[in-house]
Amino acid sequence: MTDFSHKLLKPLNDEQKDAVTSTEGYVRVVAGAGSGKTRVLTTRYVYISKVLGVAPSHILSVTFTNKAAREMKKRIQRYMPDEDGGWILTFHGACNKILKEEIHRLHYPSNFLIMDEDDQKSLLKKIYEENGLTLKDHNYKSCLDAIGAYKGKHDYVPYFSDPKGETVAPGLSRADEKGSFDFIIKKYLELQRKNYYLDFDDLVFFTLQIFYQFDDARERWQRQFEYIQVDEFQDVSKPEYTLVEILSLINKNMFVVGDPDQTIYTWRGADIRLFLDMDKAFNDVKTVVLSKNYRSTPQILDVGNSLIKHNTERIKKELVAVRNDGVKTRYFHARTRQEECEFIAGTIQNLQREGTRLCDIAVLFRSNYMSRPIEDAFLKYGIPYVIYSGVEFYQRKEIKDAIAYLRMLEFADDLSFERIINTPARGIGKKRLAAIAALSQSEGITLYDALKRLSDTALFENTGAKKLVAAIEEGTVRAKQTSADISDLLDFMLKKSGYEEYLMLCGDQNRLDNVTELKAAIKDFVEDAGEAVNLEEYLSAVALISNVDSADKEDSVKLMTVHTAKGLEFPCVFVCSLNEGLFPSQKIENKKQMEEERRVAYVAFTRAKDMLFLSDSDGFDIQTRGRLMPSRFIFNIEESLIERQGVMTDDYIEMAKEYIRASEYALSHASIPVLRSYLSGDRVRHPVFGDGTVTGRQSGCYVVKFDNGNVRTIAADSDVLKPV
């Protein structure tokens, strides 16, 4: 062992060393909460590069958030200062980088535009306006769900890549019926193809299409990536799994890290079986279990272990605390929701008096709406707080507007055009917008090109059209200069377009401060890149930025959902509203879903480092429409592991346990294999009502809009619906 490798491996425990030095073949690392998985991933990257001598460009390291990728790069640069982390990326970031070099094979330009969710909704809004649809037909979320489901089911990429435009989008039998999901999906695909837009799903599916269709491209990237690492493998979807599986087929070196006990994203496509069954999918898979926890006290870990052992779909492990003893987990049962929230507020004040900083405290809940009574209590007690489910930086209107001005210089796309055309107001009303749209449609040109043609006509006299065109044209020329500074480009466009003056006239200093912060963020991005960055590269990177990458600087309590808290840790954690119907959610319909709900609770508990507080309340609840009862997750924890506060009568406890026993029986005997599961947009047939379309799901029922115009709510367990 060299001096360098000895120094590199010395801080690791035996399990971590085993994982780091297992460089060849298929390796599965079961990394419990707080067990040092990021340390293992980064150390292994350095080990492969510096000890084995493999060039970093041949190591693909996939993470699930940009924040995680940045943390990996930062740690790696301690050992490799010159390493730019070129292939330490999210799945979407890696696909974007591959497509920049390969998408021409599908007759797509390399400067395609990546749409985020806000862009997708803008596209839907355009479709609705052009076709006389309203949100009463379908809300945007159900449409996006239907589009995602469609892309997951159908081989749709050839529709985009046919240069003659003769290929028909598959699976849209009702595309001629205005207002149907098929109609909306078809229009959405048409606008995507016209403008060379890709959404996040497309990044993965287009990459897979290239690998399936072009042997030389597939082999090139298979040989490029001699070593593949995947973080948070328990959260991968089937397409993402297929992607890394294909890439590993030549060198057969794939290293995955994850914790099945923290799989809480099945609603987003994650499949726990991909991790659990990896040893069946590949030959000679080595499994390493990281069982030492460096985050939490033994008392907190005991609570988490006691809870999660009730799940059957898992790889058995028992986390062992490295830290010394701490305080016992406290569980408070309140008489009312108000009393529960005041307990939380009062306890936080006591902790603050004892020296705990407010910024070290997090209050976690199952759903966003549960924050309201907590906020009321915090306002009453004068406790400052920040809600992490609010509007994130890159989703704020003024930031989206500013980036749209930059996108006009690179893409001049319709979505950006529609965002900036009347922000600020330029006197271009519905009549003039209709003229622009008509010319764009008839000539097959972008809306901006249509405006350029019309800006000198009488129709656009006394408007700001010519001034806007002049600003964009001059900005475009500046952007093409090799010395173009992106921050200066933004400054130029905001001044020349009148947007900065518009913000000043609005008198909102926060919005002006946000735009100033964007300019600073651009400078930081360019500096971090360590080389010249053009506008297209910056815009692609911004489109991939995670909404979770934000932080507050004030000393305030953090309020967030458990899903938002995943991957984070806090010295002191409160988990509230632990009631049946709330946490676990009343939407749970079978044992498999209940196991995921228990994993959500496990993630919540294991965010705590020093202190963990659990709470629930009695009383009537409008969400559950009945009397509140303690969560089964409280009863899952061994009695001796928690310190109880609050009064519960024996009758009340027995009533709760009887309810839970009945619920568990019903979940265990649910006819899951027999009953079909339908998604929004699926066509179904009812023996009495005829054919219809599933438009959503609520409280264990399917909402179906039948072709005769009637809407009915059909119980999911009735099995009367059949696929058409």
Counting DSSP H helices and E strands in the chain, the numbers are: 30, 24
Cα–Cα distance measured from residue 689 to residue 698, given in angstroms and rounded to the nearest whole number:
20
Residues 16/47, Cβ–Cβ less than 8 Å: no
The amino acid at residue 13 is N
- Residue type at 615 in one-letter notation: S
Alpha-carbon distance of 691 to 707, in angstroms, equals 6
Cα 681 off chain centre by: 22
Rounded CA separation 301/610 (Å): 11
* Cα-based torsion angle of the residue sequence 124, 128, 133, 136 in order, rounded to the nearest 10 degrees: 40
Calpha distance 399→358 (Å, rounded)? 29
Q: Cis link prior to 673 (omega < 30° from 0)?
A: no
Spatial contact of 315 and 599, defined as CB atoms under 8 Å apart: no
d(CA 134, CA 556): 41
Give the number of other CB atoms < 10 A from CB of residue 568: 15
Q: Is 646 helix (H, G, I), strand (E, B) or coil?
A: coil
Collapse the DSSP code of 561 into the 3-class scheme (helix H, G, I; strand E, B; otherwise coil) and give the result: strand
Indicate which residues carry an active-site annotation: 37-38, 231-232, 262, 607
Q: What secondary structure does DSSP assign to 421-443, as a single string? A: TTSS--S--HHHHHHHHHHHHHH
Q: What are phi and psi of 474, to 5 degrees?
A: -65, -40
Q: How far apart are CA 95 and CA 83, in angstroms?
A: 21
Whole-number Å distance between alpha carbons of 617 and 331: 11
* β-bridge pairing 570-575 and 620-621: unpaired
- CA distances in angstroms from 288 to 28, 154, 285, 331, listed in the order given: 6, 37, 10, 34
Whether the Cβ atoms of residue 295 and residue 609 lie closer than 8 Å to each other: yes
Strand order in the sheet with 722-723: 711-715, 701-706, 690-698, 683-686, 722-723
* Calpha distance 84→88 (Å, rounded): 9
